[in-house]
Amino acid sequence: MTSTALSDDGGLQVRRLGFGAMHLPTEPGPAREASVAVVRRAVELGVTLIDTAYMYGWGANEELLAEALYPYPDELLVTTKVGVAGSGPLDEARLDGRPAVLRAQVEQALRRLRVERIELLQLHRIDPRTPLADQLGALGELQAEGKIGRIGLSEVGADELDEARGMVDVASVQNRYNLLDREHEPVLAACEAAGIAFLPWRPVAWGESGARAEVAAVAAELDATPTQVALAWLLGHSPVIHPIPGTARIDHLEENLAAEGVHLTRAQRDRLDRLSEVALSAVSPVVTGEPAGE
């Protein structure tokens, strides 16, 4: 098991492989009980970074994590996100980075998670209708009040990251990124240069048949699964990458975490690197059958 400093100041030490809680069912009944069991098993297996957001069930996901894990182990970091508003279907959600909305969402997250301080709070999306200085200014004020430890961003470009860093210290970036979807390589490079943690969402994906065949071939050579190969590639691609694969099943959870024991040779890594040069016009959800999204 490997651990690194999530922030450049070394203040947050987490295991490289985290857990994304988005797809955990939260409705009462057996499905919720299974979700609680998955989260608790993740912590039992040494996961120290769990990612959630207000948008995931409009607070229900945060409440689920608190039910499953509170009081939290000292080494556990639960990070959440704000800046998306709504109450119904996700396709009706809207970006809302107005300072009053961000403050209200942070206050609500503190109550739902049962904490006095969120050690890492990420802006889920930049709201184009609200000046970025106002959005980050609100989070900075909450940080000064001790309600936020560190500020992160999600789904930003390199220019936006650079602009944001002129206003606040950015501890993390959470963008869509995986072996076959490397659109945000410039953002990753900027994070590497600045020592900013990069948390790829949708970290395991498959594309056209030729790309899948190459991943499957490497997996067969290593007696691993394609999912494990994709995660192992991420872990070796950059030291600032902290994948947060999500699942609602314990067997998939255990498969994901076992990826830390998969070691790609230089030749295998070169073969996988070349996949990004293939025109992937239809990247689809994760190998394990989990739904896409973030």
| Set 56, 70, 72, 177: catalytic member | 56
Residue with structure tokens 């070796």? Answer: 236
How many CB atoms lie under 10 A from the CB of residue 23? 18
Nearest CA to 18 out of 53, 44, 48 is that of 48
The type of residue at 269 is R
- Distance, in Å, from the CA atom of 92 to the CA atom of 99, rounded to the nearest integer, reads 21
Residues 121, 81 contacting (CB under 8 angstroms):
yes
- Residue 83 one-letter amino acid: G
Under 8 Å between Cβ of 36 and 66 = no
- How do 13-15 and 3-5 pair as beta strands? antiparallel
56 tagged catalytic: yes
Placement of tokens 């009944």 in the chain = 29
Query: Which residues are catalytic, by number?
Result: 56
